[in-house]
Homo-oligomer: A and B are copies of this chain.
Amino acid sequence: MNTREDCVAADRSDPLASLKERFELPAGVLYMDGNSLGVMPKTAAARAAGVINHEWGVNLIRSWNTAGWFEMPVRLGDKLGALLGAREGELVVTDTTSLNIFKALAAALRIQQTEHPQRRVILSERDNFPTDLYMIQGMIDLLQQGYEMRLIDKDLPLEKALDDSVAVMLLSHVNYRSGQMHDMRAVTAQAHERGVLTIWDLAHAAGAVPIDLNGANADFAVGCTYKYLNGGPGSPAFIWVAPRHIKNFWQPLSGWWGHTRPFDMTVAYEPAGGIRRYLCGTQPIVSLAMVECGLDVAHAADMTEVRKKSLALGDLFISLVEERCEGHPLTLVTPRNHADRGSHVSFCHPNGYEVMQALVARGLIGDYREPEVLRFGLTPLYFGYADVWDAVDILKDVLDNRTWDKPEFKERAAVT
């Protein structure tokens, strides 16, 4: 695609084009941050209003039964699970990604206490999303059982890091910064060969790339619903546990909702039989209910087409930036190879923070991640080829005219 007209033509023949109408997209904005917070499905506001005015306002406490609040984490879990290669009863929508990491990690370590009781290493990646590393550190400090965190980095590749001292490995399927993607099936097999259990963080992958949890023989997976799944700001996260592990352990965040008979009000915790035991406390019903609106759109899309378009958008964006912004100090961080790439593309720029602020001021919303990284999300459900063209126009203009070089763009906001 060498002209904007080519891009418009590509949009016209895009089999996913009609899905864009199912979202509210603000005027004058090119939104390339769906990898951080997805856009609003048109049905979301009405769904929330129904929950608030009718289920809460009128039916009040009765809605636990009549509106299905009690079943919602499991029902939505089944609906989401179908997109990720999970079967019914294997996944729940609940809590936050961080908390679900804690549950999965506790369960995986406990399984290994029987399988490989000497192992004390929890393996992750130095450039994994920080909360993943922070939750590992919290667990290690809490347990005081001699666990240590080992981090894969350029000096310690996966093959070397994965030895017989590793109990559990926690990786992001798609890296939040670089967009680099692991081959879940191959890496899981590599881990299993060494007797290592895997936890996959799907935060930057769910809804963006094809995932087959059972097909990959994964052990545990967690992720969020407010990025590519468009569930709304801070909408509850999810956890999936392979059926072979579900009954092995009751995860330690054992609140009332995970009890097998919560309304018997017994003193002793008895975990529910299946994935319900990964529930803990009362969920934020309004935020939880809206998750379904995003899932409905995701179900209307063919994931093969989503992946095809995502890669095509990425190829286009990379080639246009490299061609049209030549001479500017931009370095591609994201792998070019399709098999190694998720659905966002990142470039380094020495003035990355200011450049991103200048782009946002021009209506091109991506985001910035330390150090120096400009991130651009490519969300096939609502972003098109002409959008990519227009985005590169703005980027080129901001760089050519150094419009980023202003004091106001240097001021750091609380959230970057």
* Interface positions of A (Cβ within 8 A of B): 24, 26, 29, 31, 33, 36-37, 39-40, 44-45, 48-49, 51-53, 55-65, 69-71, 95-99, 102, 106, 126, 129-131, 133-135, 137-139, 141-145, 151, 177, 224, 226, 232-237, 250-256, 258-259, 262-269, 280-288, 290, 360, 365, 367, 369-370, 413-416
Chain B nearest Cβ from A388, distance in angstroms: 18
A365 near B60 with CB under 8 A, answer: yes
Copies in the complex: 2
B131 near A281 with CB under 8 A, answer: yes
Contacts of A263 in B (CB 8 A): 370, 415-416
Q: How far is the CA of A242 from the CA of B251 in the complex (A)?
A: 29
Q: How far is the CA of A385 from the CA of B232 in the complex (A)?
A: 42
Contacts of A255 in B (CB 8 A): 96, 98-99, 131, 134-135
Chain B nearest Cβ from A282, distance in angstroms: 5
Contacts of A40 in B (CB 8 A): 52-53, 56-57
Chain B nearest Cβ from A297, distance in angstroms: 15
B269 near A137 with CB under 8 A, answer: yes
Selected A-B contacts with CB under 8 Å, 16 pairs: A24-B53, A26-B59, A39-B57, A40-B52, A48-B49, A52-B290, A62-B365, A98-B280, A98-B281, A99-B99, A131-B281, A134-B254, A138-B269, A142-B143, A237-B281, A263-B416
Q: How far is the CA of A284 from the CA of B262 in the complex (A)?
A: 24
B282 near A96 with CB under 8 A, answer: yes
B252 near A284 with CB under 8 A, answer: no
Residue with the greatest number of chain B CB neighbours at <10 A, chosen from A31, A40, A367: A40
B48 near A138 with CB under 8 A, answer: no
Closest residue of chain B to A66 (Cβ to Cβ) is B413
Residue with the greatest number of chain B CB neighbours at <10 A, chosen from A143, A251, A267: A267
Contacts of A138 in B (CB 8 A): 250-254, 269
User: 8 tightest CB-CB pairs across the interface, nearest first?
Assistant: A96-B281, A284-B287, A98-B255, A98-B281, A138-B254, A233-B285, A142-B252, A64-B415
Known contacts A267-B133, A281-B96, A286-B286; decide if A56 and B232 are in contact (CB<8 Å). Answer: yes
Q: How far is the CA of A265 from the CA of B53 in the complex (A)?
A: 40
A58 near B415 with CB under 8 A, answer: no
Q: How far is the CA of A137 from the CA of B253 in the complex (A)?
A: 9
Closest residue of chain B to A63 (Cβ to Cβ) is B233
Contacts of A280 in B (CB 8 A): 96, 98-99
Contacts of A44 in B (CB 8 A): 52, 56
Residue with the greatest number of chain B CB neighbours at <10 A, chosen from A33, A151, A234: A234
A60 near B48 with CB under 8 A, answer: no
Known contacts A26-B60, A61-B33, A232-B56; decide if A253 and B287 are in contact (CB<8 Å). Answer: no
Q: How far is the CA of A370 from the CA of B286 in the complex (A)?
A: 28
A253 near B102 with CB under 8 A, answer: yes
Known contacts A138-B254, A142-B106, A287-B285; decide if A265 and B370 are in contact (CB<8 Å). Answer: yes
Contacts of A70 in B (CB 8 A): 414-415
A234 near B39 with CB under 8 A, answer: no
Chain B nearest Cβ from A117, distance in angstroms: 12
A253 near B135 with CB under 8 A, answer: yes
Closest residue of chain B to A42 (Cβ to Cβ) is B57
Contacts of A177 in B (CB 8 A): 265
